[in-house]
Amino acid sequence: MKDGEASFTARFPAILRAAHQVLDGDPKILDDPLAIGFVEGACAKEIKANIERYQSPPLIQARAWFAMRHRFAEDSLAQAVAGGAGQYVILGAGLDTFAYRPAQNKTALHIFEVDYPATQEWKKDRLKTLRIDIPEHVTFAPVDFERQSLAQGLAQSDFDFSAPAFFSWLGVTMYLERGAVFKTLKDILSMAPSTQVAFDFELDEAALHGQVKRSIAKASASAARRGEPWKSRFKAEELQLALREMGFKDVTYFNAFQAEERYFSGRGDGLSLNGAGHMMLARA
């Protein structure tokens, strides 16, 4: 990414989350009205002007996925909060709007947004431009993962290492080497007992077939062309086993077919994952 602007991997999901609000029916998979207009290209007028593009099968699937992965993480967060977690850490927060939606501002949840310093500075400027106040319970924790660990970054904030937290880690693992993925997971595992993490990952190519395999191949090639190649992919069963061997408990693999049944069943707008998208949920 370039200094002074958000990366493509931050902007593109934000635009498609906005497109979900504008183009898709109710109930929304993710109710995120702040996404509309949050970045250039995300206002309702711009989206409707390019409706043929946004209603193409690849972008319908992509926005279904971006909406669903946030919904799964936020549903899992709600359960963790009910169980006593008082801290929410958003890794690679990008242009996530959770902390700024009105309903969230009334909670006592302490939210930590972790991301590269340049992305965070751009986001702060954008929030100021949009006249969106940063709530007192939100902390920006800048971390350059090439120079410091997650634990080191959080140690420079007011994160409470003695209290359980919930971590969401979306749209990041595929851009990291396996070693970096497991290093971050080990950092999370070292937190207080009952800390949880929800994250997405890309399936190993050998586990893909048919149209899903072709769609994922196109997405991978697109990432490589823009200079952000995927560096890690996993077999779900092997990843589950690795997490358990590391020491995580209650490791849950949530696949696209389960997501389809939970979030997309009965919809009349054609919104679907079409077999793509995979999540893990694990407890320390």
In a domain, 260, yes or no: yes
Range of the domain at 144: 56-283
Q: How confident is the model at residue 1 (pLDDT cuts 50, 70, 90)?
A: very low
Q: How confident is the model at residue 105 (pLDDT cuts 50, 70, 90)?
A: low
In a domain, 9, yes or no: no
In a domain, 26, yes or no: no
For the stretch 246-282, pLDDT in tens is: 999 999 999 999 999 999 999 999 999 988 889 999 9
In a domain, 212, yes or no: yes
The span from the CA of 184 to the CA of 189, in Å, is 9
The span from the CA of 6 to the CA of 143, in Å, is 15
Q: What is the per-residue pLDDT for 267?
A: 93
In a domain, 7, yes or no: no
Task: Phi first, then psi: give them for residue 166, nearest 5 degrees.
Answer: -120, 130
Count the neighbouring beta carbons within 10 Å of the beta carbon of residue 176: 17
Q: b/e per residue, 109-140, with b = 16+ CB within 10 A?
A: bbbbbbbbebbbbbbeeebeeeeeeeeebbbb
Span 111-126, average pLDDT: 92
In a domain, 106, yes or no: yes
As a whole number, the mean pLDDT across the chain is: 92
In a domain, 274, yes or no: yes
Global model pTM greater than 0.75: yes
State the CATH number of the domain containing residue 178: 3.40.50.150
What is the number of structural domains in the chain? 1
In a domain, 232, yes or no: yes
Helices (H), the chain: 8-23, 44-49, 51-54, 57-82, 117-129, 150-155, 178-189, 210-225, 236-246, 256-259
User: Does residue 10 have a pLDDT over 90?
Assistant: no
